Structure 1
Amino acid sequence: MTFDEAITRLERFDKKGFCVFAKRDLRRLFFEDTDTAFKQGVCRLVKRGLLERPCKGVYVYALSKHKGARMIERIAGILRKYDYNYISLESALSIYGAISQIPIDRITVMTTGRKGVFKTPYGVIEFTHTIRSVIDILDNTEKTDTHLRIATPLTAYRDLKRVGRNLNMVDVRVFD
């Protein structure tokens, strides 16, 4: 791939709202390259500043018009792309005003995938595994204008109780 070719393809996807890619997504984007040429090309694009690598296997188009405050949610969605994910725990309760502290550098996400913590330049993503069914997740979360669903206030509180942390921070009067 040439640098100009990469800009053209990434810009086309950016216009459609896609600016965060898993490595396998980039591989599909540059399908005509051999595996060696693809790996070297991605390294060159990162070195030249066209792509950012916030964590292993995830790339952000550096010139994107969609970069902003919600970038951490886009990255979380890519990290657990094939699982059900939703904002919950302290992040959701803070949005609803049930916790006075606002987590600025962190997002807490419930996932049907593996638990884990990822440190990125956009903040820390904390995944907590849930065994809830897909129907239960869809019934107890709301679609937002972001890339992740968000737990209802009672669901976020229920998740926090299940995890068993920071319960003393919650103002339960919000749920009345």
Structure 2
Amino acid sequence: MQQIDALKILTEQAASGRAVFTRRDLERMFRADRPAARAATLKRLVQSDWLRPAARGVYVYPAGLRNDGYDLERIARAIRRGDYSYVSLESALSEWGAISQVPMGYLTLMTTGRKGVFQTPLGTIEFTHTARPLEAILAATVSPPDRPLRLATPEAAWRDLKRVGRNCNMVDHQVLEEIIDERGVG
């Protein structure tokens, strides 16, 4: 496939809101090519910096990024596609205001998939495994509009933080209690 044709396809995808792709996504998008030609097209797009590797088998089309603060979550969703992941631990507690430090470029997630840490061009993603059933995860998370991943409630994020044995000293317990009281959940 000619690079210009591949860029047209990527631009169409970006216009519909997609800028993060797995290798399989790209193979489907460039399906008119034979496998060797698809691999060559992908290699050319990476070499010319139109696509950037984000993790093994995951690519980012920089021109299509939304820069809305959730691009790292989109990469995480692609890395663990097929598993259920949600923002929790330090990242969620920081968003709720229970931790004064804001983890810039570091996203902590709970996942039904494997644990792991991934360095990406946009920041670091840390997956921590949870064995919780999907019903419990859905009950302990909220789904903010236009966000790729669900967000743990403050109670769930605190519970996750303690369960996995993380540093709980950075949490302002008084603020956490106030947040929980304001939400009317206990």
How far apart are residue 148 of structure 1 and its match? 0.6
Q: TM-score, normalised by structure 1?
A: 0.96
Q: Cα gap change, 1:83/1:36 in structure 2, threshold over 3 Å: closer, same or farther?
A: same
Aligned-pair distance for 1:67?
A: 4.1
1:175 is matched with which residue?
177
Q: Who is 2:160 aligned against?
A: 159
Between the two proteins, what is the percent identity of the paired residues? Answer: 49
2:85·2:110 contact (CA, 8 Å) conserved in 1? yes
1:91-148 deviation digits (Å, cap 9, x = unpaired): 0001111111111120000000000000011110000000000011111101023211
Does residue 77 of structure 1 match 2:77?
Answer: yes
Question: Matches of 1:47 and 1:127 in 2, distance apart?
Answer: 29
1:65–1:57 CA distance, 2 compared to 1 (3 A): closer
Q: Distance in 1 between matches of 2:122 and 2:153?
A: 25
**Secondary structure, aligned partner of 1:63:** helix
Q: TM-score, normalised by structure 2?
A: 0.91
Following superposition, the deviation at residue 8 of structure 1 comes to 1.1
> Secondary structure in 2 aligned to 1:169?
coil
Structure 2 gaps, min length 5: 179-186
Q: Distance in 1 between matches of 2:56 and 2:115?
A: 16
Alignment of 1:6-21 (within 5 A): 6-21=6-21
* RMSD of aligned residue pairs (Cα, Å): 1.1
1:33 Cα deviation after fit: 1.3
Instruction: Point out where structure 1 has 5 or more consecutive residues left out of the alignment.
Output: none
- Of 60-69 and 129-138, more deviation after overlay is shown by 60-69
SS in 1 for 2:169: helix
C-alpha separation in 1, matches of 2:77 and 2:45:
23
Partner of 2:5: 5
| Structure 1 residue ranges (4+ consecutive) displaced by more than 3 angstroms after TM superposition | none
CA offset at residue 65 of structure 1? Answer: 5.1
Deviation at 1:175, TM superposition (A): 2.1
Contact kept? 1:153, 1:175, Cα under 8 Å: no
Q: Indicate how the Cα distance of structure 1 residues 126 and 41 shifts in structure 2: closer, same or farther if over 3 A, else same.
A: same
Contact 1:154 1:175 in 2 (8 A): no
1:166/1:65 CA distance change after superposition, 3 Å: closer
